Amino acid sequence: MAALAHRRDSATGRLRLVAASGLAAASAQIWADLREEQDVAPACAVRRGALIWVGGDSLGIGAVGTAAVPLLGADGPVGVLSVFTAGVGEPDEVQQSFLYAVAAWVGGCPDGVPGTPPGPDSTAGRERAVRMGRLTAALAEAATTQDVVRAFADHVMPPFAADGLVFEVVERGRLYVVGSAGYPSEFIRMIDAMPIAANTTVHDVMQTRTPRFVESKAEFDRLYPTMDHLNERSPKQAWAFLPLIASGRAIGLCVVSFSQPRTFSDEQRTWLTALSSLVGQALERARLYDVEHARAQELQRGLLPRTLPRLPAASAAARYLPAGRGEEVGGDWYDLIPLSADRVAIVIGDVMGHGITEAATMGRLRTAVRTLADLDMPPDELFSRLNDLVSDLGEDSYATCLYAVFDPVAHTCSYTLAGHPPPVVVHPDGSVHSPDVVPDPPLGAAVPPFDTHQLHLPAESMLVLCTDGLVESSTRDVDQGLAELRHILADSQDLTACLEAADQDEDVRCLEHLCDTVVSALLPDSGQTNDDAALLIVHARSTPVGDVASCDLPEDPRAAGQAREFVREQLAVWGLDDLVITTELLVSELVGNVVRHAKGPICLRLLRSRSLICEVYDGSLTTPRIRHATYTDEGGRGLQLIAALSRRWGARYLHDSKCIWTEQDLPHPAASGEPSTDQQ
């Protein structure tokens, strides 16, 4: 809208107006001669040594506010540039960076400051302007602290023939190295986390906010005799110590160094000072990004499984890739949940959108899924409950999800889809396919009931699940991405290694490599993606035939005795004689409850895995509950006995029956036979 330029008189400290644009002469005259202590934008910027923004129409010209940036020279501010804004509110980061770039360029070019003699070499001025433009562009793109350090090293060190660079920031009275170049690691470790008070060089620069240029080791010893130990170990011979100023305070130090003694001309000193002012703002912005990035990563790690469990019926590996642009946290999640009878719940989901809010929603859904899975709900019923939860979050909340339950005894996988890509199935012979199913609408938009789909999974099959961020992009739709995923899996040597793994450790290593292969093929440039992506690969293993035994029981009091006899015989075959007495008590109580309170048909099944699992099936859907029996009650203690004798117990419900199950720890392997490894 309008702008003013003032030059600071170093003798009087007054600010003299030397140029004006877009203002009537009468308006500009109000700020023609300012005292440095005045409470106006130009004077405040000079005092603080940083950009300030003051809201309001200071000169009555219809402005929204005034942004003032000091013009820095080698010995401090040499003037100030003031811009009257007509936009809405304070300039944003991009606009502030632009103002700093303009101020740094003007302050660094003597022939560009109004009211000063023209420079002797206009070509050098143009070169400086080009370098400043390139550095400004690089800093505008710099997101992290390392990006800022890299930009400074690339655009500042070569023109000055510098071969050393150190960036340090102040935290709790100490200076921490956040980036360096041209120094041995031993020296960086020595100066890292050094107290400011112990480093008189840094203390001098930070206190005065004035650059220090040291042209030789002899001059360093003369200026800072107490720092001779640091001088002796330094591989450099000359230094430019530049304070990094942001938001009116010194946030750190930039040290540009040289391996040979050298002199610094006035122009070079002015130029380096102007550059450090520009970099200070970029570094502060990058440090804020680093903090938020670290918090986002910590949040994501806390919401996703730290490690996936290694289960008797499944090994798994997974990858989560946040959107390359924007917040590095999102709503994609995956999980592997152990269920009763060695069954495994496999889940992957995607809360639409990405950011902190979606990540928090994802955490709620993942917790809900684990809670509902622990109740042994079938997939369709679990989705009905989950759909209610998503609907309660608001009209704009939606999530896609795939929930599957793998039964290693029956070799089946039951799954439900809500707006999610279907699973990719890898058979033991290496063939790959995706079932042709129509998913239900996403959670939050669906109307129950949900469809349940069935898969037959032979021994050593694999399930590959992903979110749409992995297979969908601006250049391919989901179907094309899934086809490419199937092709990658079929051609991968890691897939063959997983199917032939000798043990679970090797299996997991192969799955990890397979995840890397898939991700690198589908997302070669993950830093440029606009959506989160998750990948979960599960190697499903069937329960060996020899580790499962079952028998049908009559619907009368003889059932308990036959159950005990079956237990004794089977545990003897498995070498688990130490568990006979406890297991007899458990099956007697379970079968007795069915005879007294439920109905047939009755079936007893034993599974030998990492624990001994006893299951009793009956034809009733009545829910068993633990009662608090009194001393005079003749019954009501059965489930208390079951809870006391087993590691854990529970119930699950089938279409027209239920199963009560218990788990007991196996004795030490030396005292019993090892589980069979023969596969069905």
pLDDT tens digits along 397-424: 899 999 999 999 999 999 999 999 999 9
Of 672, 657, 675, the closest CA to residue 617 belongs to 657
Of 612, 615, 616, the closest CA to residue 571 belongs to 612
The architecture in CATH of the region 304-540 reads: 4-Layer Sandwich (3.60)
What mean pLDDT comes out for the span 60-67? 83
Distance separating alpha carbons of residues 517 and 540, to the nearest angstrom: 20
pLDDT of 156 reads: 80
Per-residue DSSP letter, 608: E
At residue 199, the 3 state secondary structure works out as: coil
Global model pTM greater than 0.85: no
Tokens in use for 339? 């269920």
Distance separating alpha carbons of residues 69 and 46, to the nearest angstrom: 8
- Buried-state track 223-259, b at ≥16 Cβ within 10 A, e below 16: ebeebeebbeebebbbbbbbbbbbeeebbbbbbbbbe
Of residues 292 and 229, which shows the higher confidence score? 229
Q: What angle do the packed helices 504-522 and 478-491 form, to 10 degrees?
A: 130
DSSP 372-406: HHHTT--HHHHHHHHHHHHHHT-TT--EEEEEEEE
Q: Which CATH number fits domain 545-671: 3.30.70.3420, 3.40.50.1220, 3.30.565.10, 3.40.50.1000?
A: 3.30.565.10
CA dihedral sign, ordered 566, 569, 575, 578: positive
Kindly state the helix (H) or strand (E) to which residue 76 belongs, with its residue range. strand 76-85
Give the count of alpha carbons within 13 A of 486, CB side only: 18
Within its chain, how far is the Cα of 279 from the centroid?
Answer: 27
Q: Which amino acid is at 553?
A: L
At residue 588, the 3 state secondary structure works out as: helix
User: Which range is least confidently modeled, 73-77, 87-91, 286-290, 381-385?
Assistant: 73-77
- Return the ∠ at Cα 108 (arms to 267 and 63), rounded to 5°: 165
Query: Domain limits of the chain?
Result: 2-91, 146-296, 304-540, 545-671
User: Which range is least confidently modeled, 403-407, 486-490, 493-497?
Assistant: 493-497
User: Which range is least confidently modeled, 228-242, 323-337, 370-384?
Assistant: 323-337
The architecture in CATH of the region 2-91 reads: 2-Layer Sandwich (3.30)
* Contact yes or no for 595/646 (Cβ under 8 A): no
User: Which range is least confidently modeled, 137-141, 155-159, 600-604?
Assistant: 137-141
Residue 309 contacts by C-beta under 8 Å, 6 or more apart in sequence?
Answer: 336, 338
* Contact yes or no for 470/478 (Cβ under 8 A): no
Strand pairing class (611-618; 344-351):
unpaired
Beta bridge partners of 539: 315, 462
At residue 98, the 3 state secondary structure works out as: helix
Max Cα–Cα distance, the chain, nearest Å? 114
Reply yes or no on whether the pLDDT at 592 is more than 80: yes
pLDDT of 102 reads: 72
Judge if 2-91 and 545-671 fold alike in CATH terms.
no
Q: Where are the alpha helices (DSSP H) in 30-168?
A: 41-48, 93-108, 122-141, 145-155, 157-160
CATH superfamily for 146-296 is GAF domain (3.30.450.40)
Distance separating alpha carbons of residues 260 and 67, to the nearest angstrom: 41
pLDDT tens digits along 256-286: 999 999 888 877 787 787 777 678 778 877 8
pLDDT tens digits along 13-48: 889 888 888 788 888 888 888 888 888 888 888 888
pLDDT of 626 reads: 57
Reply yes or no on whether the pLDDT at 138 is more than 90: no
What mean pLDDT comes out for the span 220-234? 86
pLDDT of 135 reads: 74
Phi–psi pair at 588, nearest 5 degrees? -60, -45
What mean pLDDT comes out for the span 368-376? 93
Phi–psi pair at 30, nearest 5 degrees? -60, -35
Question: Strand ranges (DSSP E) for 611-653?
Answer: 611-618, 648-653
What mean pLDDT comes out for the span 616-623? 86
What mean pLDDT comes out for the span 626-634? 51
From residue 544, give the alpha-carbon distance in Å to each of 20, 313, 541, 570, 679. 88, 10, 9, 15, 5
Reply yes or no on whether the pLDDT at 97 is more than 80: no
Reply yes or no on whether the pLDDT at 392 is more than 60: yes
Distance separating alpha carbons of residues 44 and 47, to the nearest angstrom: 5
What mean pLDDT comes out for the span 517-542? 85
At residue 628, the 3 state secondary structure works out as: coil
Reply yes or no on whether the pLDDT at 441 is more than 80: yes
Q: Place 111 in a pLDDT band, splitting at 50, 70 and 90.
A: very low
